Structure 1
C-alpha cells in the first residue's frame, strides 16, 4: 500500500531557476517530497525565475520559514501586494476587477482589529460548549457507519463532521450546510482544477456565497448576544461595515480555516495509520497518547502546504538576497519534514517529543486562530473511534487534491473492523 509515498525516492533532476515545486501536477502524486528534500539539502532558499505564478522564492527549511513567518515588518501578507497564496490570480484578477481581502491578508493594525472581532469564538466556555456538540455528533455518525463494508472516509466522515461544525460556528441553516463545503472548495480552487473550470465560474459562486450570507446577516442585527462568527462580524466595530470585498474575503477565510484543514487531517490520520500500523497499535495500547498523536498527524499531514509573503524591503534570508517586492513562499509541507528539527520526519510517530513544534498553524501574528477547535475535533474523533473499532483498513489508494495550497484528499476508500 502506497510504498512510493512511504519511501519516496530521491530527486534525480538538478535544481535550476526553472524548478517549480508549486506545479499543481506534482501535488497529485506526492512528487514534491523529493524536490523539497533536495532543496533543503542543496538550496534551501530557492529562486524560481519562471512559473505560471511568476518568479518566487521557495523557503524550505524550518528555521528560515520561522524567520519569515515571525517578521511581519519585512514580509507582508497584504492582499494588495499579493496576499497569502502563491497564485495572485486567486485573490486578485485584474481582468474581472475581483478582489477578496481578509484579515490574514492584512498587516497591522487592521489585521489585529478584525481578528480580535472573531477570536472570542475559541474562548474556554465556547470550547466546552462546542466539545459537547462535537462528541454527540461524532458518536452518532460513527454509530451509523457500515462495519465490514467499503465506503469513502472523506465524504462520509471528514467532510460531514467538519461541515456540521462549521454550520454551528456560523449558526448556518443546517439543511443547507453542504453549501459551506462547496464554497470552501471553490475559495481555494484554481481554474481548471476540476472544482471550477474558469475564474468567472469561481467568482459567480463566491458572489452567491456573499449574497446568501448577506441575507443571513440581516437576522443577526437584533441578536448581538448570539455566539457565532457571523454575529460577531455583524456587531464588531472593525467588521460591521466592511466593504464587499472584505466581507467576502473574511467569509472565505473562516470557512476554509474551519473546514479544509481539519477535514484533511481527519483523513490524513486514517491514511497515515495505514502506512504505519505500529503507531495505531501504540495508540490502542495507550489512549493517553491521543493528544500528542493529533499534533503529530497535523505535522505529518500539513493540511495547508504553503503561505506566501511579499518583501517590503531588501533582506537577506538563508544567505540569499531578497529584493523589495519579491514573492516569498513558506513551504510548511517542507519545514515539517526538516530533519534538523524532526527525527525520521516522513513517519508518523505518535509519541514524538516535539510534535507540537510543527509549522502547520503558522507562527507570529497570523497563527491559526481556530487551532484549538481543530485539535478538539480531531481528539474527540480518535477517542470515539477507539471505543468502536479495532482498526480502519484503507482498501485503496487515496485521491489527492489538485492544489499546491490545500494539501488534502478527495477520496479514501476504507473498511471498518469492529472491536
Structure 2
C-alpha cells in the first residue's frame, strides 16, 4: 500500500508556506501555470485523461477491482449497484489501483460516521478530494483541529441563526425575482435560469462581491473543482489557472477595498469583513495561498450543495408525482422534503481522509498514510439506516439524519443556509406553479465528487388564477 501520498503532500505544503508570504498570489499562480505548461511541452507532466466508455455491471467486476472513483459512474446511473455491492460484500474496501492512486472506500452509514467523528485518527489534511489540484492551496475544511477551529470560527457568524433570520427576507425577494422572470410558454434550462442564478445571488451577498459580476462565482467554482486530476472532471489545466488567477485578483482587490471602507467606519457582516475582524486570521491576506484556498472553499461549498439540491428537488418531484401532490396538499412538509432532497441527491459524493496511524477498522488493517474515502452518496442509500433508501419520500421520518453535511468538526458550516434557500424556493414555487415538467434526461456533471447537473430542460405550468 502507498503510504507516501500524505507525507509528500505535507512536504509540498511546508515548502509553499515558506514562499507564499513574500510572493503575491497572482505571481505564484502565474509561475505555477508557466511551470505546468513547460512540463507539458517537455512531456514531463502525466495528465489524466478520461474517455467515457460503458461501465460494466457491478456483478461482472471482480470485487477487488470495483472502482467507485470512475467520474462517469453517476452520469451512467451505475452508482447504485456499485455501492450496494460494496455495502453488502466489502463495506471497508481497498482498491489497489485507480487513476487517483490506491484508496479505501467506506460505504456504510455507521462506518462513515465513525470515521468522520475521529479526526485524531483520520486526518482531513492536506485535501478532501481523491486527487490533487494543480496548486496546493490551503483551506480550513482540509485542516485538523485546532487550526481548523480557529479559521472556521472566524467566518461561521455569517450563518448564525440570528443573521439567517435577518437574511430570510432578502433570500425570498431574490428567489421571487428569479421565478417571476421565468418563461411559462416555452421550455428552458432550470440549472442555468434558476439553480445557478439563485446560488450566484446568494454567494455575492455573503461575500459582498460586486452584484453585477455575480455570474463569475459559479463559473470559478466549476472550473476550479472540475479538473481531471482532482475529481475526474473536464476542466483543462489552462482554464483552471485562468479561473483561479481571476479569482485571486478579484478577491485581493475586494479585501483591500473592504479594509479601506472599514477604516472609514463602514461596517458589514459579510465573510470578508468577518475575516478582517478576527484577531486570528485578520492577516490572512499575507498568506496568499491560504487566503485563496479559503475563498475557494466558501465559493465551491456555497455553490454545489445548494445549486444541485435545487435541481435535484425538481427532478425528484417530477419522477415522483405522488410526492408532489402530497406536498401541494400539505405545504408544511416542505422542510422535511428539503432534508429528503439533500439525502436523495447527496450533492457532494464523498470526503477524503488520511490515516494518521495504523488502525484496525471494519475488520481491515488500514496503514498510516492510506487514503480513506467516506462515500456520503452510499451512506445516504444504506438500507441499514433508511427504509427503501432509493425511494424519494417527502415525509420520511428520519430524513434529517442524512449525512450530506458530514459530522463532527467538519460538519457543513452553511447547512442551515442551504436548507433555508431550498425551503423558500419551494414555498415560492408552490405559490406560482402547478407543476414543473422535466423534458428529456438531465445532463449530469462529469465528476466523482460533485453529484450534480449541467443542464435540465423544464417547462412550468402556472397555477390557475
TM, length-normalised to structure 2? 0.84
Tell me the distance in 1 between the aligned counterparts of 2:249 and 2:260: 19
Question: Which runs of 5 or more residues in structure 1 are unaligned?
Answer: 1-8
Give the distance between the partners of 1:189 and 1:52, measured in 2 at CA.
Answer: 15
- Residues of 2 paired with 1:157 and 1:276: CA distance? 21
- For 1:10-61, what per-residue CA distance to the aligned partner results, in whole angstroms no more than 9, with x for missing partners? 7322443322110112222121211000110111111000001100001000
Q: Which residue of 2 aligns with 1:325?
A: 369
Q: Distance in 2 between matches of 1:191 and 1:334?
A: 22
Residue 275 of structure 1 is matched in structure 2 by 319
Q: What whole-Å deviation, never above 9, does each CA across 1:141-195 have from its counterpart, x for those lacking one?
A: 1111111410000000000001000000001101111110111112211249675
Give the structure 1 partner of residue 15 of structure 2. none
Question: Does structure 1 residue 221 correspond to structure 2 residue 259?
Answer: yes
- Superposition deviation, residue 268 in structure 1: 0.2
3-state SS in 1 of match to 2:386: coil
Q: SS state of the match for residue 350, structure 1? A: coil
**Of 213-222 and 361-370, the range deviating more from structure 2:** 213-222
**What do residues 223-282 of structure 1 show as CA deviations (whole Å, max 9, x unaligned)?**
453110111122322222231111111011000111111000000000111111111111
Partner of 1:164: 201
Partner of 1:117: 154
1:57 to 104, 109, 114: 104
Structure 1 residue 416: Cα displacement = 0.4
The structural deviation recorded for 1:415 is 0.6
Q: Measure, in 1, the Cα distance between the counterparts of 2:95 and 2:57.
A: 20
CA contact (8 A) 1:313 1:325 kept: yes
* Contact 2:58 2:66 survives alignment (8 Å): no
Instruction: Report the 3-state secondary structure (helix = DSSP H, G, I; strand = E; otherwise coil) of the residue aligned with 1:414.
Output: strand
Distance 2:378 2:175 in 1: 32
Query: What is the aligned counterpart of 1:20 among 67, 70, 76?
Result: 67
What is the DSSP-based 3-state SS (H/G/I as helix, E as strand, rest coil) of the residue aligned with 1:345? coil
Q: 2:275 — aligned with what?
A: 233
The equivalent position to 1:45 in structure 2, one of 92, 99, 103, is 92
Distance in 1, Cα, partners of 2:319 & 2:409:
35
1:341 to 377, 381, 385: 385
Superposed displacement of residue 294, structure 1 = 0.2
Q: Which residue of 2 aligns with 1:4?
A: none
Q: For 1:187 and 1:122, how far apart are their aligned partners in 2? A: 24
For the pair 1:197 / 2:236, whether they are aligned, the reply is: yes
Matched-pair contact (CA < 8 Å) for 2:233–2:447? no
Matches of 1:115 and 1:270 in 2, distance apart?
32
1:138 to 162, 171, 175: 175
2: CA distance, partners of 1:21 / 1:122 = 34
CA distance in 1, matches of 2:313, 2:75: 18
Rg larger for: 2
Partners of 2:236 and 2:260 lie apart in 1 by: 40
SS in 1 for 2:63: coil
> How large is the RMSD of aligned CA atoms in angstroms?
1.5
Query: Counterpart in 2 of 1:74?
Result: 121
Q: Is the 8 A contact 2:355 2:366 kept in 1?
A: yes
| Aligned residue-pair number | 400
Given candidates 436, 440, 443, the residue that maps to 1:396 is 440
In 2: Cα distance, 1:196 partner to 1:42 partner: 35
Gap regions ≥5 residues in structure 2: 1-55
Stretch of structure 1 that moved more, 359-368 or 180-189? 180-189
Question: Which residue number corresponds to residue 5 of structure 1?
Answer: none
